[in-house]
Chains A and B, each alone.
Chain A
Amino acid sequence: MDLRTKYMGMTLKSPLVVSASPLSKTLDGIKKIEDAGAAAFVMYSLFEEQIELEQKELFSISTMGSESFAESLSYFPDVAEYNLGPDEYLEHIRKAKESVSIPVIASLNGKTTGGWTRYAKLMEEAGADALELNIYNIPTLTELKGEDLEKNYIEIVKSVKDNLSIPVAVKLSPFFTNLANFAKKLDEIGTDALVLFNRFYQPDINLDELEVEPHIVLSNPTEMRLPMRWIAILKGRIFADLAATSGIHYGEDVIKMLLVGANVTMLCSSLLRYGVEHLKDIQEEMIEWLEERDYESVMQLQGSMSQLNVADPSAFERAQYMKAINNYVINY
Chain B
Amino acid sequence: MLFNTPQFFVFLAVVLGLFYTAPHSWRKPILLLASYFFYMSWNAKFVLLLLVLTTVDYFAGMWIERTAPSHRRKLFLIASLSANLGFLGFFKYFNFLAANLETVLRLPSHHWDIVLPLGISFHTFQSMSYVVDVYRGEQEAISSPLDYALFIAFFPQLVAGPIVRAREFFADLFHWRRPENDEILRGAFLTLFGLAKKMVLADQFAFVANQYFGNVSGHAGMLQAWSGTVAFALQIYFDFSGYTDMAIGMALLLGFHFPVNFRRPYLAQSITDFWHRWHISLSRWLRDYLYIPLGGNRHGRLMTYRNLMLTMLLGGLWHGASWNFVIWGGYHGVLLSAEKATGTAAVTVGRPWLQVPRMALTFALACIGWVFFRAATLHDSMQVIGQMLHGARGHMLLGPWYLRMIAFALLLAILEEKRDWFERVVKGPAWVYASAMAALLIAVELAGVTEVTMPFIYFQF
Partners in one complex: no
What is the interface of chain B, defined by CB distance below 8 A to chain A? none
